[in-house]
Amino acid sequence: MKIRKRKPHKAPNEEARIDLDSARNRLLVTWLSGAFAVLILVVIQSIIGRFEGFAQEFWGWFTPTIFPTLGLMLGVIGSTASEDDEGRTVKKFFFLAAVLLSIGYLILLLLTLLLEPLAGTHDMKYYNLANYWLAPIQALVVAAVGALFNSRKKTR
Amino acid sequence: MFRQVASVSLGLLFLTSAFAQIFDVQLRGTWFKRADTWCVRIDVPTPPGAQVSTRRMEIEATDARTHESLHFDVEARGTRRRGNVIELRFAVDHPRHLSLVVRGLDIRDESGRALLYTQMLNVAAPPAMADEHPHLGAGARAGLAGPAGGGAPPEPPLTPGQGAPAPEPLNAPLVGSQPEDALDLPAEAPASRKKGKRKIDIPQFPFPPPRASVFQKIPREFFVAKNATPRLRDVEATLTAAFERCGYGDKSFYAVPDGFAMASRLEQMNADGTPGPERWSLEVNPMRKFAVRDYLQALFHARPGHYRVVVFMVTNHPFKQKDAKVNSDEAGAWVREGLNELPSEIGDRDFTDDYACTALIYEFKRVGNGAATFVEPSELSAHDHLDRSGLLSAMQGHGR
């Protein structure tokens, strides 16, 4: 007679979840790192004079690419700084998806800036063209990050 | 109705007399026949001591009724006691009512002051066509008087700078009936004979020209090396050959006082004045070949587009550039709005010592998405522009 060993009881999807607070912090660090790299490049370009004649237009294009998302993250983290987030978790898959989307978006933004000298069009014509590939991905990233940072439901 | 007609008539009469007061010299023309050939003699009645130069004279003749352009030869030019005369020989079987436009006469009084003259005049056919003798009656008077019973021939339209039609007074003295007897007509060089040409509306280049970024007078030797007595068409040939050698495909011609202007297409150049790789594109040059240094330069520095239009102005009128800036759209349109070739009425003029060819360089710079702005003054000299575009050596090469 075979005796089947019972598997130890686990909470549903316990290993597939990650602490929400930790997820938010990691995502914020990811965004801050990427945004800092991009921002440094753009500031140096502006100081040297790369955007001579269209600096206002350029910054008008550049600012919405990172700052609204960063503002959302910082705002949520700041507002929940005094709250007890014990017991709040998020699916690891969703967290990974949000991180990968964010990294992909930030790399794409950096590449967009770095490849401009090799492009066929230049200056604002090029940056406006870049909106075709940046805007859809940014929309996905904002959706993922927004969901993650607006989650207030406790799982336990 | 009668009052309106009377008012208009009085107005015309007043205008006619007003024009008569404006001009110092009023040309008169009459038909006469010499050896079976109908000729028109144009009298240039000048005050005593006045000098008349016909070197740059150009005449157009049209039938006043049909507006058909008539061919003629300048038969003779000479002096009489009471002024100068010019004789035109027409290949027509009978005299017609003619509209003549006489340009380029230089009439100066004793003190050297240039005298105004009526550039347009009407020459009425003799009243009796069958009468082939040049004993002209009152009806053959030139100008507004018109033939007896035939009505005045229609007025040719006025064009800027041409003055008014000759307001011939009704009691004007008629020229002699036997012109060949009284004339002292040293025929000029055959080359100076002019054929009647179809009138072309030649676009005028702004004169004086708008302010250029830089300009330079082109040495006369470039145009006279092959031909000691060149004409404007020879100058144009040298400039055209230089344009072609340097890859300027498009060009267009404009009239300027007693000369012409030739405008190039708007071209993109490098900052040093050499033609850019995307010469005819208005877009800023992309990186064709990857090099780290070029890449970093392009990543961190603005890449302005440099553009220029070259205008060669050939005229015997010294000019001071107008204090008006031209924008890149206007300069770019010059190549489209001019004539595709130099009209012979301009090209046939002699490139005399008082003519000069001046290169006017209009440079523009575009940064970012904005419109290209006029550069004044250019960082390069006109010589640099002409040298690095290749035009200077091309002109030198053609001149030799």
The radius of gyration of chain A from alpha carbons, rounded to an integer in Å, stands at: 21
Flag whether residue A11 sits within 8 Å of chain B, measured between CB atoms.
no
Task: Establish, for the pair of chains A and B, how many residue pairs have beta carbons separated by less than 8 Å.
Answer: 54
CB atoms B369 and A124 under 8 Å? yes
- As a whole number of Å, the CA-based R_g of chain B is 26
Shortest alpha-carbon distance between residue A128 and chain B (Å):
11
Tell me which residue in A50, A54, A125 faces B301 most closely, judged by beta carbons: A50
Distance CA B261, CA B338 (A): 9
pLDDT of residue B198: 56
Q: How far apart are CA B62 and CA B164, in angstroms?
A: 16
Report the half-sphere exposure of B36 (CA within 13 A, side-chain side): 0
Query: B287 and chain A: CB distance < 8 Å anywhere?
Result: yes
Percentage of residues in chain B with pLDDT exceeding 90? 18
Read off the amino acid at residue B14. F
Residues of B in contact with A118 (CB under 8 A): 286-287, 290, 295
- Residues B283-331 have pLDDT tens digits of 776 677 788 888 888 888 887 888 999 999 999 999 999 888 888 888 9
Q: How far is the alpha carbon of B156 from chain A, nearest alpha carbon, in Å?
A: 53
- Spell out, as residue ranges, where chain B has pLDDT lower than 70: 1-23, 76-83, 127-200, 285-286, 368-370, 398-400
Tell me the whole-structure pTM to 2 decimals. 0.51
Of A44, A118, A122, the CB nearest to B303: A122
Of the residues B300, B373, B375, the best mutation for testing chain A's interface (the one with the most A CB atoms within 10 Å of its CB) is B300
pLDDT value, residue A46: 94
Q: At A5, is the pLDDT very low, low, confident or very high (cuts 50, 70, 90)?
A: low
Mean pLDDT, chain B, integer: 73
| Residue A7 backbone zone (phi > 0: left; psi -120 to 50: alpha; other: beta) | beta
Interface touch A117/B295, C-beta < 8 Å: yes
B354 to chain A, closest Cα gap in Å = 45
- B277 Cα to chain A: minimum distance (Å): 14
Q: CA–CA separation, B176 vs B34, rounded Å?
A: 14
pLDDT of residue A63: 94
Whether B368 and A124 lie within 8 Å, measured CB to CB: yes
**What confidence tens digit (pLDDT) does each residue in A85-140 have?**
667 788 888 899 999 999 999 999 999 999 998 888 888 889 999 999 999 999 99
| Cα A39 off chain centre by | 15
By C-alpha distance, which of B195, B119, B224 is closest to B164? B119
Of B299, B369, B370, the CB nearest to A117: B299
| Order of strands, sheet of B37-45, starting from the edge strand that comes earlier in the sequence | B28-34, B37-45, B83-90, B72-80
Q: Which of A122, A124, A127 to mutate to test the interface with B (most CBs of B within 10 A)?
A: A122
**Distance separating alpha carbons of residues B349 and B345, to the nearest angstrom:** 7
pLDDT of B255 reads 93
Contact B302 A50 (CB under 8 A): yes
Q: Does A122 touch chain B (CB under 8 A)?
A: yes
Given CB atoms, is B289 within the 8 Å cutoff of chain A?
no
Which pLDDT score, from 0 to 100, does residue B72 have?
83
Q: For residue A115, list chain B residues with Cβ-Cβ distance below 8 A.
A: none
CA distance linking residue B154 with residue B98, whole number of Å:
10
Angle among Cα B348, B389, B216 to the nearest 5 degrees reads 60
SS (H, E, C) chain B: CHHHHHHHHHHHHHHHHHHHHHCCECCEEEEEEECCEEEEEEEEECCCCCEEECCCCEEEEEECCCCCECCEEEEEEEEECCEEEEEEEECCCCCCCEEEEEECCEEECCCCCECCECCEEEECCCCCCCCCCCCCCHHHCCHHHCCCCCCCCCCCCCCCCCCCECCCCCCCCCCCCCHHHHCECCCCCHHHCCCCCCCCCCCECCCCCECCCEEEEECCHHHHCCCCCCEHHHHHHHHHHHHHHCCCCCEEEEEECCEEEEEECCEEECCCCCECCCCCCCCCCCCCCCCHHHHHHHHHCCCCEEEEEEEEEEECCCCCCECCCCCHHHHHHHHHHCECCCCHHHHCCECCCCCEEEEEEEEEEECCCCCCEECCCCCCCHHHHHHHHCHHHHHHHHHC
Cβ atoms of B340 and B252 closer than 8 Å: yes
Report the percent of chain A where pLDDT is more than 70: 85
Which among B298, B301, B369 is the nearest to A54, CB-wise? B369
| pLDDT at residue number B305 | 85
